[in-house]
Amino acid sequence: MIYTVTFNPSLDYVIALDALETGRINRTKKEHVYPGGKGINVSVVLANLGYDSIALGFEAGFTGKMLREMLDQSGCRTDFIHLNEGMTRINVKINAGKETEINGQGPEIPEEAVEELYRKLDRLQKGDYLVLAGSIPRSLPSDMYERILGRLEGRGVHCIVDATKELLFNVLRYHPFLIKPNQYELGDMFGKTLETREEIIAHAKLLQDMGARHVLVSMAGDGAILVAEDGTVIQEKASEGDVKNSVGAGDSMVAGFLAGYLGTGSLEKAFRLGQAAGSATAFAYWLAERESIKALLDGPADSYGL
């Protein structure tokens, strides 16, 4: 089974305007509400590809109830911990020529809720996959990722981590199955700007020296690079298309990689399905659907486990 964790999920209120004028009344051209959060994005795209997962995390208030209902409608299984105070945050994403985001804070997460999450994670079994993605809310310990991977160490759970800098550095000693920085995050980890593919590959291998098994580096319009555990490097340029939305593309890549790997056992197929899923989301107004992902694949979909 695949599990995803989203500590601070959201409802994303996405609006489009011709222009945003501060201090005045602005009227939208389009508006949508979507479930949000990096782990949730992974679960939604997995569901679109026909793979089951369980989304873990915390929810509160009427917005939390709506979040659960929307995920149910998307075919996602959830096992959220309900918080009695506060409400699941609302993030406002404004597209008015430029993308502007206003993100809510989310509810305070008490210690007893954290312990309940630990108990749920303690049920994971050998061969399960766990996706940890995104930032850690201020009400949680800053070493939550380390605590979780430490609890699961030696139990045969395959952990995928999509996080930045110290959050990522600090889990490498637990040998995560896959980590997915983008090229800017990878450079930031080493205090450098990585401009060439050779530099990106070299620094991905440094993360492997520190403990990561497979390193998947997303590069937006320049494609992606996978540095596999055995030293194999797989590269691909980005698919061609009209980019409409950058939110969730990296999460979609993680979902596609997982689906491809579980469906075929091939890292190359996993990489190419991940690349197609990430691109398809970038070309959509929300997360990619199955058919749009299949359209970007090189070869029949059943060869990718779909």
HSE at residue 205, side-chain half, CA atoms within 13 A, is: 10
CB neighbours of residue 291 within 10 Å: 10
Single-letter code of the amino acid located at 130:
L
**Measured distance CA(102)–CA(105) in Å, rounded:** 10
CB neighbours of residue 128 within 10 Å: 18
Contacts of 277 (CB under 8 A, 6+ apart): 45, 49, 252, 253, 255, 256, 257, 259, 288, 293
Distances from the Cα of 151 to the Cα of 113, 122, 189, angstroms = 17, 8, 25
Tokens at 42, concatenated: 């992974």
Q: Which one is catalytic: 18, 230, 251, 302?
A: 251
Look up residue 302 and give its DSSP letter: G
**Measured distance CA(225)–CA(205) in Å, rounded:** 12
**Measured distance CA(67)–CA(12) in Å, rounded:** 10
Report yes or no: 37 and 10 within 8 Å, Cβ to Cβ. yes
The yes-or-no answer on residue 251 being catalytic is yes
- Using only the alpha carbons of the chain, give its radius of gyration: 19
CB neighbours of residue 105 within 10 Å: 11
Return the closest-CA partner of residue 288 out of 297, 276, 300: 276
Which residues form the catalytic set?
A: 251
